[in-house]
Amino acid sequence: MFEFLFKYPPAIFSKGKFLLLSGWPVWLLLLLIVAAGAGLFWNMRQRHGLLSNPRATAIWLAQTALIAVVLFMLWHPAISVARLRPQENVVAVLVDHSRSMGIADDGKPRIQAAEDLLNGGLLPDLEKRFQVRMYEFGRDAVRVDEARNLAADDDATRIGDSLKHIAGEAGTMPLGAVVLLSDGGDNTGGIDRDTISKLRALRLPVHTIGFGPDHFAKDVEIVDVAAPARALAQSRVSARVAIRQHGFAGSKVKLLVRENDHPIAEQEITLKPDPEQSETVVFNAGAEGAHSFTIGVSPLAGEQNARNNAVVRLVNVAPRKMRILYIEGEPRWEYKFIRRALEDDPSIEVACMLRTTQNKTYVQGFGDKDRLLQDGFPSKAEDLFKYDGIIVGSVEANYFTPAQQALIHDFADKRGGGVLFLAGRFALSDGAYAKTPIAEMMPLRLPTEKTWSRNFAYATLTDAGKESVITRIEEQRDANIARWQKMPQIANYAVMGAPKPGAVVLMNVNEAGHRPTPLLAIQNYGHGRVAVFATAGSWRWKMLQDHNDRTHSEFWSQLLRWLVTETPGQVLSATPRQVLPDDTHVPLRVSVRDKNYDIVSGATVETTISRPDGGSDTVELRPDPLQPGTYTGDYTADKPGNYVAETTARQDKTDLGRDALTFRRENGVAENFGAAQNRDLLQKLSSDTGGSYYTPSNAKKLSGEIAVSEAGITAHDNLDLWDMPILFLLVILIRGGEWLARRKWGVV
Amino acid sequence: MRFRIAILAVLLCCGFSALLAFQARFKEYAGEEDNPSAVPADAYEKTEWTFARLRYPSGRYAGYSGERGSWPTDFPKADRQFLAGVRRLTRIHTRSTEQVIDLINDPDEIFNWPWVYAVEVGHWDLTDTQCKLLREYLLRGGFLMVDDFHGTLEWDVFVQGMSRIFPDRPIVELPDADPIFHTVYDLDQRVQVPGLQYLYSHQLWEKDGRVPHWRGIYDDNGRVMVAMCFNQDDGDAWEHADNPQYEAKYTQQAYRLGINYVIYSMTH
């Protein structure tokens, strides 16, 4: 219809440039329209006879519009568009032959549907005007002679890499456009910006034809699992599982975590009516070493694709013992019971300094490692930054010098450590922290008045607390909530202000007759983490429950593990994806710091990678010119299995530290996921490059629209618009409408 | 109607359990006081710690103290004078009055007070339920200081009760190097602290308890749970700290030892 009324397809209008070819100035056109309108208005005023004002105005508007349309046609409107010159350009046709294209949606595999579309008319149409080059692509684009007997056998889809390959050939031939037939199931997470930039620089339009349904009728898929890459030994970790389902709303499924085929955690969930939902599953990371956890849901009866129900995530349990410095300003039970709670934790060591009297500090440290604490709270960065976390108890703000206050702030901000603030007579607002740099790092606003009280109150989980691993005492979510509801009251608390943006409140304090206020809040701050636990009365969770009850120790263990698990050493290595599904490229990135956690630019950084076959490779990392203190390198993981990368950094003869990283290469899994059509990706690809998206049913239009392109060998054509049927239709409608109105009003 | 009754019942239960959940406040034991002392103005202040005195049954062995029993010996003056010292010498937030932990009538209250003092335990006579409760209290993290018992007979009575609390844990001499003697004051050199009778008898010991012992019971992690001041009377030293005839060196040690025990219990 559009083409019938406007003479040309929409692509011409969206890509062309509008012109008036008469050579007469545009202002003259406007002037004549205004003059005609004014003349008609004057005439109407003089001779409107029996017509009322509104009717006269309607007639005047119709006559003016008619004159405007006619004048516009006289000015010779046209559109200038670049079009591929016939028989001089190449069109690349890429057919996806990854395994997902072998899925038979309506009894016919997608790749067969693509072949039929091409051979049934699209290809002959294109060949009439262009030279056509056929490619099949999965991991990369490979030239083929014809679109027949293609096999959906590649175990990955990399649309970006394949297009980059084609774009690379544009320098050797007049490539005018790309036609891409695919289900859009790209395994790399999208098309990278480089590829899009390159295509745009070449002005090469990519026209996409999408195959497959937008979703399966009955399927449950694990879209993603966010799990920590590192954990401490025997610590609980939580994984956030993103699930997409169609056709199973209301069904109950088991969310399972397995290691070596042994279930280690399970949770029953109900699939919601909304196709997308997220669930949290908590499990134990286990002993030291690299662990591969398979996380997913059990297959459901009637599911069309059961191979997308689970993914693998790696968790590296480091042999490191995290060290926390706890400074307490007065003897109190919380101090004793926190120490006891962590006594059996193999991953955390707490060195304590307690002000027992006005002049004495009792140090409970670990020999030489904490010898300096006898002299008081550290006042040098290199002494304080040896620790991974700090607990600040009931200590007045002015006990710390301004320099020490700045160090505590930098401990989280710059060093990346964790800082926990407890409530007390001399803590938080009562300790006059509100006007120190330390207040800025806290997740909660500090009231201006003193708010500490020794009233008993209940601690209740917030919605975030119900999902958090910090407050997870029972593995099962509902059992955990029930457990917290039975917890003894805390002995005291401080009323805190509202949470700051980015803070998460995990617990509230509820005292009868008072409004709930935040009790436990956490946030990331700078490179580190900060928490406020606005009580010193959690010791009652120990004293008022059976001596075998581990609620108190588990809570403290988990809170402090959260505080320090992510605290980096001087050398910190990372890679964007620890599990590589059908991919071999491993980018390595290492950050190197000195004892004060200042960046180190001139270090020698090497990574030794242990392969699954027992061999090893060494990669020398280069400084990143854009990010001082960061060193990068690349590794190719040829073989499937687990890899361990150990990085060392030296400067001159000084050892700056080491860090270990694990990653895993997997084969034959990528195509199991995202097997429905990724229409969004295909539409975005075509719109970003100036092409169009088609379905197989409307792909016939492609041959007519593909010629509009600025790539390859083009000619600029001026296409007349004055003879568009829409304009003549408009003239008839205006004149006819006026005549009909006049007849009705009796003034013909 | 039934719905309203159910709501009322739930509210009453909540209210009752809330009452139970609260920590008991200071209460006078008029008539049972051994050495009465005026109630100070801040008696009811809510603080982190206070002197918690165990009120235990001592029927069969309480010959001299009659109906009252042996638990309030030196009470409450000793408690309040020791509290004054704790306030002056440490940063512990404490009130000026003691808290009586009534093992007979309100046994569960003990769990709100992780440090407890029991005097004249050579006369205690605990029931099985009380032994079980004390065992649970100590295993959860509570600390018991016992004092003012002397000689073989009183030791045997004490051990008879203690062995029912912990049949499986030995009573040992606390070594000088134990942190309990070094938390605030270094107390390697200790003397026998006598009771007030010393002023009249001029002997430091009572009965056949000539040698002072600082004994204890450890938990599985090597922490002292029960500290025993045997053949000595720190309670009298606190009680008579303001008595010019009672020698300061004994008072000084009693205060230092008591403070060390309190700080130890709050740090280990």
Query: Domain of A252: which CATH number?
Result: 2.60.40.150
Residue of chain B whose alpha carbon sits nearest to that of A361:
B184
Instruction: For residues A168 and A135, give the distance between their C-alpha atoms in angstroms, rounded to a whole number.
Output: 14
Q: Which CATH superfamily is domain B50-265 in?
A: Domain of unknown function DUF4159 (3.40.50.12140)
One domain for residues A705 and A725: no
Chain A's closest residue to B142, CA to CA, is A543
Same domain for A410 and A527, yes or no, is yes
Q: DSSP string spanning A248-282? A: -TT-EEEEEEEETTEEEEEEEEE--SSSEEEEEEE
Query: If pLDDT is split at 50, 70 and 90, which confidence band does A695 have?
Result: very high
The interface pTM score, or ipTM, of the predicted complex is: 0.92
Average pLDDT over residues A479-508: 97
Domain boundaries, chain B: 50-265
Q: Are A312 and A409 in the same domain?
A: no
According to DSSP H, which parts of A157-294 are helical? 159-169, 193-202
User: Are A229 and A207 in the same domain?
Assistant: no
Q: Which helix (H) or strand (E) holds A231?
A: strand A230-231
Q: What is the arithmetic mean of pLDDT over A360-368?
A: 92
E-assigned strand segments in A583-683 = 585-592, 604-610, 616-620, 622-623, 630-636, 641-651, 654-666
Q: A638, A670, A702: which is the final residue of a domain?
A: A670
Say whether both A420 and A273 belong to one domain: no
Model pLDDT for residues A215-259, shown as the tens digit of each residue? 888 999 999 898 888 898 888 888 899 999 999 999 999 999 999
Domain check: are A547 and A577 in the same one? no
- Residue A549, burial from CB neighbour count under 10 angstroms (0-12, 13-18, 19+): middle
Higher pLDDT, A73 or A705: A73
Q: Quick one: A305 and A328 in the same domain?
A: no
DSSP A360: -
Q: How many domains does chain A have?
A: 5
* Residues from A in contact with B at Cβ < 8 Å: 329-333, 335-337, 339-340, 343, 352, 354-358, 360, 362, 364, 425, 454-456, 488-489, 491, 512, 539-540, 542-547
Which pLDDT does position B98 carry in this prediction? 97
- pLDDT(A714) > 60: yes
Q: Is the CB of B114 less than 8 angstroms away from the CB of A333?
A: yes
Best A334, A335, A336 member to test B by mutation, with max B CBs in 10 Å, is A336
Which range among A37-46, A364-373, A561-570, B174-183 shows the weakest confidence by mean pLDDT? A37-46
* A512 contacts in chain B (CB < 8 Å): 18
A453 class by beta-carbon count within 10 Å (0-12 exposed, 13-18 middle, 19+ buried): middle
DSSP-based helix, strand, coil % in chain A, nearest 5 = 30, 35, 35
| Per-residue model confidence (pLDDT) at position A101 | 92
pLDDT of residue A449: 94
- pLDDT attached to residue A4: 86
Chain A hits for B140, CB-CB cut-off 8 Å, are: 542-543, 545-547
Q: Residue A185: which of A738, A673, A737, A686 has the closest Cα? A: A673
Please say if the pLDDT value at position B6 is more than 80. no
Strand partners, B52: B99
Out of A358, A491, A544, whose CB is closest to B91?
A358
Poorest-confidence range of A352-361, A378-387, A702-711, B17-26?
B17-26
B-chain residues near A425 (CB < 8 A): 93
Q: Greatest CA span in chain B, whole angstroms?
A: 77
> Min CA distance, B60 vs chain A (Å)?
31
A701 in the same domain as A610:
no
CB contact residues (below 8 A), chain B span 139-178, against chain A: 139-142
B214: helix, coil or strand? strand
B19 shares contact with chain A (CB less than 8 Å): no
| Percent over 90 (pLDDT), chain B | 81
Q: How distant is the Cα of A463 from the closest Cα of chain B, in angstroms? A: 24
Whether a cis peptide bond, with omega within 30° of 0, leads into B76 is: yes
Å between A365 CA and nearest CA of chain B: 12
SS3 B111: helix
The three-point CA angle A203-A206-A208 to 5° equals 165
Q: Are residues A456 and A514 in the same domain?
A: yes
Domain boundary among A612, A640, A670: A670
pTM above 0.90, yes or no: no
Question: How far is Cα A234 from Cα A264, in angstroms, rounded to an integer?
Answer: 12
- CA distances (Å), origin A171, targets A124, A145, A176, A180, A643: 26, 21, 11, 20, 39
Confidence of residue B10 (pLDDT cuts 50, 70, 90): very low
* Rounded CA separation A321/A305 (Å): 43
Mean pLDDT of chain A: 91
Inter-chain CB proximity A332 and B266 less than 8 Å: yes
Quick one: A126 and A104 in the same domain? yes
The arithmetic mean of pLDDT across residues A656-682, rounded, is: 88
Indicate whether A194 and A304 sit together in one domain: no
Give the pLDDT mean for A60-76. 91
Q: Which residue of A has its CA nearest to B135?
A: A547
What would the DSSP string read from start to end of A120-158?
A: IIIHHHHHHHSEEEEEEESSSEEEES-SSS----BS---
The verdict on A513 and A390 lying in the same domain is yes
Measured between beta carbons, the chain B residues lying within 8 angstroms of A539 are 114, 141
| Domain coverage including residue A693 | 86-214+676-712
